[in-house]
Structure 1
Amino acid sequence: MYFPNTDFLNAKLGDNASYTWRSILSAQEVLKKGCRRSIGTGKDTFVWKIHWLPCTENGYLTTIMPQELEGIRVCDLMEGQQRRWDDDILEDLFNSRDVRLLKNVPLSIRDINDSWLWLFDEKDQFTVKSCYRKLVGECDTFNAVFWRKIWDLTLPGKVGFFLWRTCRACLPAARALVNKGVNIDDKCGWCQVEKEDEMHVLFECQFARRCGHQLNRRNKWLWNRVAVSVFGTTSAATNLLEDWKKAQLEKPRSKSRLSATIRRWQIPQRGWVKINMDAAVFEDINTIGVGGVI
């Protein structure tokens, strides 16, 4: 057992700790910030070892603990069997800050056990969602407004999703893949100079300045060593532009932003001939392929 003589909130990393234990313990700080002890009988809560004061910044007592009182429990601060604080004990043991907070702790008249509550949830119950939001900082109003503006943009679904992934640094750029343990070079596959992250692959790379459809062309080269022609890249970018134009004409839809825009082949107008074509360059065999369908 990692902490045989204490609880998780007071556990230490120790010597030669395993990767698993380090990962588990990394959540300790956010749990300390969000967990508070709800006092029932007070028999299950140590006075100095558990954060049980009603303070979001620091739920621990700040009074220096006398060594001989290390093991006292919250029930020892009450008047006998009555559910009220012994003011004389509080004034003798604790500083003014702790006394003020102690007197604000609600005491139940029922005979119930002490329990845990979670500060970052309206129902005082721990949820992975509320803990995640606390960790990544999405609980603040600014971020909530920012993401709402992102999803309210009039864009094709796949473009909105791509924008969200870019803002969240979720694109499979080389630098992100290396950070996740993928054994590849983190330099840009085209310029071979700068480290490839979202900003570089979309805006800073010289090829990105000439053509906005960089990511698809870069992925085909990085993983399959297939070089897509400038014509093919430009054609794909033109299709994206058409998707965007169509999105501007559609009425806003609240729940369909995530769905990808489906492009279907359409019959050309009377008197017109439609040609669908693409091209690719295979540098390893010095070959260029061009195909077209009328």
Structure 2
Amino acid sequence: MEATQSSRGSYAWQRILKGRDVLKRGARWRIGCRENVSVWNDAWLPSRDKPTMQSPMVEGFQEAKVRDLINLDSHKWESDLIKGLFTPQEAELILSIPLGQRRTKDKLIWPFVSLGNYTVKSAKMNLVQRKILTEGTCDHCRASPEIALHALWECPKLSMVWEENNQWCFRGNTSFTTFQALVQYVIDEGKGLEKFAMLVWAIWYRRNQVRVSQKEFPYNQIGPFAIQLLHDFVQVLPKRQLQSRRADGQHVQWQPPPVTKFKVNFDEAVFKEDKQAGLGVVIRNHQGQVIASLSENVVLPPSIEDVEALVAVRAVSFAAKLGVLSTVIEGDLEVVIKALKSEEESLSTFGHLISAAKLSMDGFSSLSFTHTRRQGINLAHSLDMLVVI
């Protein structure tokens, strides 16, 4: 990453360096031990558009590192100092970054994919987009980049589509880093995957029709168009398959752990208007009796994955502190559960929190992780809803 240009370098080497420069401009520092990241010179803010500090540099803080903004005893941000040094917008961004309770390495990650690592596959996708699209901007608003999450969900022009039904009211108070995370949330929360999929398809169909044929396709027709398509689809399904699909949507109940173990459920609640999140952890025995519970209110992190990872750390450390060392830990966001189960280091934005959780696992005699829908952890969800009331 530190190689320099040379007039003697081959054409391939020059192209590699060009690609390296693109990678550097897009990569972002994930805050771990906070010792190696410059406050003013490095890209570390959780913003895709402006990850480097835009606030005027303050005299006496020119060489400041991110660690200088953190209370090393409490592992919390120095809120008053941050609000005094930076603009309100950047101070809010900084305070939203969740900090792990254990020291992990500062890590350079790629924030444009959910796993945080720049892959050949993601590079090819970008190239394909550049080849197909004359302009890499959204067809709806003509302002933001045409990534799947924006073009199918976040674009303000689509409010008429998604706000037509209260089923999608979480659009206004829940943030996602990728379209995959949004789909997983719809599945986990039982929000109606078939209807969601048909609406997404209809939005993309409208985009292609307007682009290719230049025909008018008003936004207020997308919803009825999708509903009719779904109705037609259901009508032609074999009766047995339809019954099976309905059975899949039945209520999910909490399942007790084996007799010799405890189950730790964790969940989060997001309150976007208040810029807060509630964290809830519940420990129960095989009879379903509550042994201990924890609830906490935190500044709202940048994404739902960050919030879920933060409460997962609390769940592991809470169980370890209480000596509940033969445990099944259960949550409802699959990407976080997979990261906790994986032996590989997570390069996602919440990877430092996963690393912190793994450092707390050594003392357990038996520890496993399972994924469930939110209905299976209602008590934990009730706790995190209560913290902001």
Q: If the TM-score is normalised by the length of the shorter chain, which range does it land in?
A: 0.3 to 0.5
Whichever structure has more strand as a proportion of its residues is: 2
Whichever structure has more helix as a proportion of its residues is: 2
TM-score by length of 1: 0.39
Structure 1 or 2, whichever has the larger Rg, is 1
Q: Which one scores higher on RCO, CA 8 angstroms, separation ≥ 6?
A: 2
